[in-house]
């Protein structure tokens, strides 16, 4: 059951209606364990920077931390899947440039962990608007994922106008060429899990490189994986190309992710 809190108090129907009807804002989703978050500073930076860009205003870390802690108190839990959404109840599409105070909606769900089973993905030509912002315009992400599943795949993988792989529906993708992890170069939301993996792999001395990856030209790439805030999982195939999951790679990725610290919210 989802519980929602607006700046620490239970959200009302009017609060939720304001967000649903306007659909203008941004968010960050995270896993909380023992009231600590892995990559907390990445989530805070994402929320701060997007608030400046979308609302021309500031939001401080203490307020974000406090809102999450109050939501955990209200739900009576220490472990959870948490989504922090920044929006403005007073936003008016007729005056979208008006500077307004922002509201913090924190939703609390049971903890989630990625299913480690390999998935098969289908590519679609699609580019999210403002891909660097995790905004609330998620309709095309879910619609493409639904379409992929109706066509026999597990999820959707996006490619840009040049055929370069960018990102999955709600996850990032990486590849393995037998020596290095290859991160595809294209406009995409750079996820917190991706950044945590990059830091952990670097500390472990695992080679990494960024390069354009075309969906129809995966020669030399032996394996692929997906990552988001719930964890990592192998990709077994893209369109009609089979990719064999690499247990050693997944172990290295898991170790890299586990090496990154969990930061207490009550810092």
What's the pLDDT tens digit per position in 88-145? 999 999 999 999 999 999 999 999 999 999 999 999 999 999 999 999 999 999 999 9
Whole-number pLDDT of residue 267: 74
The predicted structure's pLDDT at residue 219 = 83
**Structure tokens given for 229:** 């805030």
| Cα 87 from Cα 85, distance rounded (Å) | 6
Within this chain, domains 3-109 and 119-262 share the same CATH topology: no
pLDDT at 1: 75
What is the reported pLDDT for 244? 92
For 119-262, give the CATH class: alpha beta
- The C-alpha angle with vertex 80 and arms to 75 and 82, in degrees rounded to 5, equals 90
- The confidence score (pLDDT) of residue 237 equals 96
Domain positions in the chain are: 3-109, 119-262
197-207 pLDDT per residue, tens? 999 999 999 99
User: Residue 116: CA atoms inside 13 Å, Cβ hemisphere, count?
Assistant: 8
Rounded Cα distance, 232 and 251, in Å: 10
Q: What is the reported pLDDT for 18?
A: 86
Q: Is the pLDDT of residue 22 over 90?
A: no
Query: pLDDT of 40-51, one tens digit each?
Result: 999 999 999 999
CA 194, CA 188: separation in Å to the nearest integer? 12
Q: How far is CA 217 from CA 159, 207, 208, in A?
A: 12, 21, 19
CA–CA gap between residue 122 and residue 147 (Å, rounded): 9
The whole-model pTM stands at 0.95
Provide φ and ψ at 194, rounded to 5°. -60, -45
Residue with tokens 């893209």: 238
Residues 6+ apart with CB under 8 A from 167: 131, 157, 158, 173, 186, 188, 189
d(CA 128, CA 113) in angstroms, rounded, equals: 26
By the 8 A CB rule, do 232 and 117 touch?
Answer: no
Check whether 217 has a pLDDT greater than 90: no
User: What rounded mean pLDDT belongs to the chain?
Assistant: 96
Mean pLDDT calculated for residue range 196-221: 95
Confidence of residue 61 (pLDDT cuts 50, 70, 90): very high
CB atoms within 10 A of CB 243: 21
CA-angle at 90, arms to 87 and 96, nearest 5°:
80
254: enclosing H helix or E strand: helix 247-258
Position 59 scores a pLDDT of 97
User: Which pLDDT value is given to residue 97?
Assistant: 92
Specify the CATH number for 3-109; select among 3.40.50.2000, 1.10.460.10, 3.30.470.10, 3.40.605.10: 3.30.470.10
């Amino acid at each position: 059951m989802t519980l929602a809190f607006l700046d620490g108090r239970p959200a009302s129907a009017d609060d939720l209606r304001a967000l649903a009807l306007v659909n203008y804002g941004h968010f960050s989703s995270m896993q909380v364990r023992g009231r600590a978050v892995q990559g907390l500073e990445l989530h805070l930076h994402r929320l701060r920077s997007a608030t400046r860009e979308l609302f021309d205003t500031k939001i401080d870390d203490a307020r974000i931390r406090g809102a999450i802690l109050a939501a955990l108190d209200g739900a009576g839990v220490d472990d959870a899947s948490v989504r922090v959404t920044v929006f403005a109840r007073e936003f008016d599409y007729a005056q979208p440039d008006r500077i307004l105070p922002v509201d913090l909606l924190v939703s609390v769900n049971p903890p989630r962990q990625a299913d480690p089973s390999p998935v098969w993905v289908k590519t679609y030509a699609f580019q999210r608007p403002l891909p660097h912002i995790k905004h609330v315009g998620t309709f095309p992400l879910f619609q493409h994922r639904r379409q992929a599943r109706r066509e026999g795949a597990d999820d959707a993988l996006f490619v840009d106008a040049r055929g370069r792989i960018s990102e999955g529906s709600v996850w990032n993708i990486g590849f393995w060429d037998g020596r290095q992890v290859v991160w595809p170069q294209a406009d995409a939301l750079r996820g917190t899990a991706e950044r945590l993996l990059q830091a952990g792999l670097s500390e472990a001395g695992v080679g990494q490189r960024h390069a354009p990856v075309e969906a129809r030209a995966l020669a030399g790439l032996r394996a692929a994986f997906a990552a988001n805030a719930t964890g990592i999982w192998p990709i077994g195939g893209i369109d009609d190309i089979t990719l064999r999951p690499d247990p050693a790679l997944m172990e290295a990725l898991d170790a890299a992710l586990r090496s990154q610290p969990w930061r207490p919210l009550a810092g």
